[in-house]
Amino acid sequence: MKTIGVLAIQGAVDEHVRMIESVGAIPKKVKHASDLTELDGLILPGGESTTMRKIMKHYDLMEPVRAFAKDGKAIFGTCAGLVLLSKEIESGEESLGLLDATAVRNGFGRQKESFEAQLPVEVFGATPFEAVFIRAPYLISANENVTVLASIDEKIVAAKQDNILVTAFHPELTNDDRWMRYFLEKMV
């Protein structure tokens, strides 16, 4: 049975824990670098990327998370996690730099522009995924080693590169476990 950590410093932590349990994996809340040991994968949840980065820096988590990825361990970033994992953030803020792409924070607008969309995802076949976008970012560009999994109006909203998976939306806020299963089966 796989153990998946959820960075538990801010954001949709409990929703991810429930989704991990629903697919038969063991969740573990991560607050310190020592919590990363013996994990099979890690989720950086949605929340507020600037706040998450500040807390990660305060608790010296930036380098341990980078090392976790460089050791080949899988990381799934949703919403703010997408921003934190991107190599560059359009606003120039510091990131983990693990995904060869450039993120735009709040790319679809502020809270009042949040929306849901029936998102076609080729790896899931004909049934679209009901994606929940809350102050969502997107990837404005991605290098050729990044596989785009879904887009809206030419804005990249799901992608992967090696052991890194990102979505601009919140799959944990739905009852559809296909993204978590994809992460466990294809990435971890």
Q: Which is the catalytic residue, given 90, 113, 172, 185? A: 172
Query: What are the angstrom distances between the C-alpha of 38 and each of 74, 98, 132, 154, 167?
Result: 13, 21, 31, 38, 25
What is the DSSP code (8-state) at residue 105? Answer: T
Based on the residue annotation, tell me whether 79 is a catalytic residue of this protein. yes
User: Which strand (E) or helix (H) includes residue 7?
Assistant: strand 3-7
Q: Which is the catalytic residue, given 93, 116, 130, 170? A: 170
Based on the residue annotation, tell me whether 88 is a catalytic residue of this protein. no
Tokens of 3: 């153990």
Nearest alpha carbon to residue 177 among 18, 7, 4 = 18
Based on the residue annotation, tell me whether 170 is a catalytic residue of this protein. yes
What's the rounded Cα separation, in Å, for the pair 33 and 148? Answer: 30
Active site residues: 79, 170, 172
